[in-house]
Structure 1
Amino acid sequence: MPEHDKGVAPQHLEEAVLLQELEAIHRTRHETLLHGSDEALRHHSTRMAELEREYLRRHPERAPVPGRTRSGARARTEDR
């Protein structure tokens, strides 16, 4: 695949642009899964993984919100 088809390498994106790219790719995931070609889905998966890896590289200290952890999910279901 030519480089121009892959988009800008995630490590070269400014923080705000990286976040915009992540939001856009997550927003389009379901539609790509349901209606994209196999090639489009592969490309989408690859790009999403690249963007997510770069975000995690930049933010290794990120702390999960308690409700988004396994124990937090269990606590929610126990409260019902």
Structure 2
Amino acid sequence: MAEHDGGPAAGRLEEGRLLKELEAIHRTRHETLLYGSDEALVTHTQRMNELEHEYVRRHPQRAQTAARTRSGARARTGEG
């Protein structure tokens, strides 16, 4: 992936920098949604997706909490 206005390509980031970029983009998401221009929201979404996909690519066996699955959510709400 090439460099772009949103920062270096996610695939080129070392692990610590990738995590810092993810923390920063998640921290600013709500404010961008509420107050950013349409263009800012599109750009933010694209960068967030790029970073998240890179994280998942690197960590396909990442820890998952049962409560964060569909069946876990149904158990919490009494469905199913």
Q: Same fold (TM over 0.5)?
A: yes
Q: Which has the higher contact order (CA 8 A, sep 6+)?
A: 1
Q: Name stretches of at least 5 consecutive residues in structure 1 with no aligned partner.
A: none
- Bigger helix fraction: 1
Q: May I ask how many residue pairs the two structures share in their alignment?
A: 76
Instruction: Please report the TM-score for the alignment, with normalisation by the length of structure 2.
Output: 0.85
Which position in structure 1 is the counterpart of 2:71? 71
- The root-mean-square deviation of aligned C-alpha atoms, in Å, is 1.3
Identity between Structure 1 and Structure 2 (%): 71
Q: Name stretches of at least 5 consecutive residues in structure 2 with no aligned partner.
A: none
Which position in structure 2 is the counterpart of 1:42? 42
Following TM superposition, the consecutive aligned residue runs of length 4 or more in structure 1 with deviations greater than 6 angstroms are none
Matches for 1:55-70 after TM superposition, within 5 Å: 55-70=55-70
* Separation (CA, whole Å) in 2 of partners of 1:38 and 1:77: 35
